[in-house]
A and B are shown apart, each in its own frame.
Chain A
Amino acid sequence: METQAKETMQRTMQYTQAYVQAPWRRQLRSIGVLLTVVLVLVLLSSLFVSVNARAATLGRQIQRSRQQIEALEFEIAQLRSELAFQTSATNMRQRAEALGFRPVTSDELVYVLVPGYPGRQAVVLAPPAKTVVISRPVISPAFTQSWLDWLLAQMEAPVLPLAELP
């Protein structure tokens, strides 16, 4: 018992002496811990900045795309209108007459039966209406969550009993 206490005391004194003789060892340990903490913080901050930067870039792209869409819609309307002016009934008739055509009369027509031809059909500008489930585009939480949001979400998430884990 006494021997054991002596050994312990001796070991403690050895450590104390070692630190007294080389105090930088303790400093090194403290610096190591501090640097580890800083490194973790830097890593997390980098992640945070990276995710936010990507989200901001995408947000800007969306905003610019919307502006482009608006500009294109204006242009499409203008071009559609110009095209319609060019192909209006009056213009087409004038062009046909300039090319030497004239309206046909009923006694000049020859009727031929074309099997399978359904005759003139009305225009279809879009597919017929049907039941459509419109779902919003799903964006990964990675683009919208900060790491703090993620951490809080994890903490608030219900913990399943072990027996229920898959």
Chain B
Amino acid sequence: MNVRTALRFVITGALFLLGGVVIIARLVSLQVGGPGEQIREIEPLDGVEVAYLQPARGNIYDRDGYLLAGNQLIYEVSLELNAVQNPISIALAVSNVLGMDYSEVLRLASQDPETVENTHILLDYFVPYEQASRLIQLKEKTDAAVDPGSTPDGKKHSLRGLVISPRYDRSYPEGSLASNVLGIVLKDGSSVQGVEEKLQMLLSGQERQTRVSANPYQALNLPDTLHGADLVLTIDREIQAALEEVLDEHMGITGAKQGLIVVMDPRSGEILGMANAPRMDLSGDWDVEVQKFSDDRSFNMALDSYEPGSVFKIITMAAALDTGVVSPDTPFTDTGSLEVDGWTIRNWDGGAWGPQTMTTCMEHSLNVCLAWVATEKLGQSRFYQYVRAFQFGTPTGIELANESSGYVRFDNHPDWHPIDLATNSYGQGIMVTPLQMLRAVSALPNQGRMITPHILKAVVSRSQQYEVTPQYAGQPISAETAATLTEMLATIVESESYTEMYPGYRVAGKTGTGTIYGTSLTNASFIGWGPVSDPRFMVYVWLHKPTTSPWASLMAAPVFVDVVERLVVLMDIPPDDVRIQLGAQ
């Protein structure tokens, strides 16, 4: 081999060697110090950390998609003692931005991480978006600055170790609107009352802690955060707002302790509005808001049972008409009293109303007449058979927490007495909820079939909408009975003076004044629906302990009138003659 060839070999070998040395040197520099250290510090390649996957609680919308309960961004500010470099900087920043005590924050931040049990210290759990944004900006600016300045002890300013973590908090854009329907979400994520409690499983999503590897090769193993499902309620916020306005107005007029208005679509069972008074402002001061429900006030009266009084006469009359023991024109002579089981039944005014028919018995709401129908015409067996068929004593299953079942002492109960049959016939001695009454009376505008009230319209989960379909709850009476009784109740309403308020719309309804045992106070109720020929709404009004007057016709019926006046506008319901005229086109 000549020298030239040998030289070529040497040069080639040297180049290979040099290349190898450069590569190895670069590898060592990357792994051992310099950029490698920095990269590992920012994103450790082999680190495994415990991540807390915080799901967003599902939003709650009204039927038109307006947000009733959503999530807002809120921050948690804490200290990670292992990373703290300058406690004074942290104390200065936190005390200035969050208004916390400087010396207390300094004490916490100055702790030796070796001597404390938990190096993660929570400073504030509820830091609003604006304050947190200022703190984040300050931290980013300080930590990125080449010369951030120094504190009196000579250390460079640093906010390392100050952790500002975002999280979700419940927000209520509509304030107190429908708050008694929505329910309350507590700080720990649990919920009480309303839809929030009843559908907690759907709304809450799946909170979990998981080990997350920083290894990029395992990026696909990261679990997804399972957010809560969104709910669409049947509530119409415009109707809800109108109901709350009407109720608040009448609470002042009647002096009632509590009030309720429920509006249901009798064709589908959808609750269009459910107004309660008092209501809780879910964004307000908790201690103040809770006080509204002291003194045995209910969170949502629609779920509570009570003695409804004369609105229950609808059920008694429905049973009597359906069995054929009476007709609207069946005569009855009211002597003002009826002896049952050694007790004397009297009318609401204590008077004797003389010759009556079943229609006028209902019109004048005569207890004696209805007790006579139940005891002399129907008998206990058939009466309670219908009470069962109307499903009293059974909750409606509405998507709201803490629904009462009511209480019916049926004739097979050991404590049942014949007087119970008489008093039950006019709604005393029996406990029902407004929702049970709505379910039962919905048989009238639905040709004898009851509809189940519901407040959940749809569930939206994983980009799919699941609709809740209306459900019938059985047929306790025939279509003919339903039509006959509807006509009787429409005639009754027409004869009352308060119907002058809404000319053009034929509605059916019944008042109910239930006495509260042991007091002179009453529960004033009204149930009504319309238009009779094309039912679009069914309204239930309950005023608890009105003080201006005890009578439902003076207290609850005017509420119904005002509600109907609003509903026909909000629901685009034309007067009967216009509707017939338009239908003919």
Q: Nearest residue in A to B2 (C-beta to C-beta)?
A: A24
Select A24's contact among B1, B465, B569, beta carbons within 8 Å: B1
With the chains together, A60 CA to B575 CA distance in Å?
66
Interface 0/1 of B541-554, CB less than 8 Å to A:
00000000000000
Neighbouring B residues of A71 by C-beta, 8 Å: 166
Task: Indicate if the CB atoms of A75 and B67 lie closer than 8 Å.
Answer: no
Contacts of B43 in A (CB 8 A): 60
Is A9 part of the binding interface, using a Cβ–Cβ cutoff of 8 Å? no
Interface members, chain A 75-112 (any B CB < 8 Å): 75, 77-78, 80-82, 84-85, 87-90, 93, 103-106, 109, 111
Residue from B63, B174, B466 with most neighbouring chain A CB atoms (10 Å): B174
9-residue interface stretch from B211-219, B287-295, B343-351, B518-526: B211-219
Query: Which chain B residue lies CB-closest to A89?
Result: B241
Interface membership of A120, Cβ < 8 A:
yes
The answer, among B64, B217, B572, B578, for a CB contact under 8 Å with A122, is B64
Tell me, yes or no, whether A47 is within 8 Å of chain B by CB: no
Report A109-147 residues with CB < 8 Å from chain B CB. Answer: 109, 111, 113, 119-120, 122-130, 132, 139
Give the shortest distance, in Å, between B270 (CB) and chain A (any CB). 9
Nearest CB of A to B360, in Å? 31
A63 contacts partner chain B, Cβ-Cβ < 8 Å: yes
Q: Is B568 among interface residues, defined by CB-CB distance under 8 A?
A: yes
For residue A139, which residues in chain B have a CB less than 8 angstroms away from its CB?
A: 220
- Total A residues in contact with B, Cβ cutoff 8 Å: 50
Question: A89 near B168 (CB under 8 angstroms)?
Answer: no
Q: Which residues of B contact A (CB under 8 A)?
A: 1, 5-6, 9, 43, 56, 59, 61, 63-67, 70-73, 129, 166, 168, 171, 173-175, 177, 214-220, 222, 225, 227, 230, 232, 237-238, 241, 457-458, 460, 463-467, 502, 504, 565, 568-569, 572, 574-575, 578-579, 582, 585
Question: Of B9, B67, B464, which is within 8 A of A128 by CB?
Answer: B464
With A22-B1, A55-B216, A66-B222 as contacts: A123 and B174 at CB distance below 8 Å: no
A106 near B166: Cβ-Cβ < 8 Å: no
Confirm or deny: A56 has a beta carbon within 8 angstroms of a beta carbon on chain B: yes
Name the prevailing secondary structure of the B interface residues.
Answer: mixed
**Residue ranges of A at the interface with B (Cβ–Cβ < 8 Å):** 22, 24, 28, 31, 55-60, 62-63, 66, 70-71, 73-75, 77-78, 80-82, 84-85, 87-90, 93, 103-106, 109, 111, 113, 119-120, 122-130, 132, 139
Q: Is chain A's interface secondary structure helix, strand, loop, or mixed overall?
A: helix
Q: Which residues of B contact A128 (CB under 8 A)?
A: 464-467
> Beyond A74-B166, A78-B72, A128-B467, is A87–B1 a contact (Cβ under 8 Å)?
no
Q: How distant is the Cα of A31 from the Cα of B8 in the complex, in angstroms? A: 13
Contact B65 A125 (CB under 8 A): yes
The residues of A that contact B222 with a CB separation of less than 8 Å are 62-63, 66
Q: Which residues of A contact B72 (CB under 8 A)?
A: 77-78, 81-82
Could you tell me the distance in whole angstroms from the C-beta of A85 to the nearest C-beta in chain B?
5
The answer to whether A88 touches B173, judged by C-beta atoms less than 8 angstroms apart, is yes
Q: Considering only CB atoms, which chain A residue lies closest to B224 in the complex?
A: A66
**Interchain CB contact under 8 A, A89 and B174:** yes
Query: A149 to chain B: closest CB distance in Å?
Result: 12
List the B side residues contacting A113 at CB < 8 Å.
Answer: 582, 585
A109 in contact with B569 (CB, 8 Å): yes
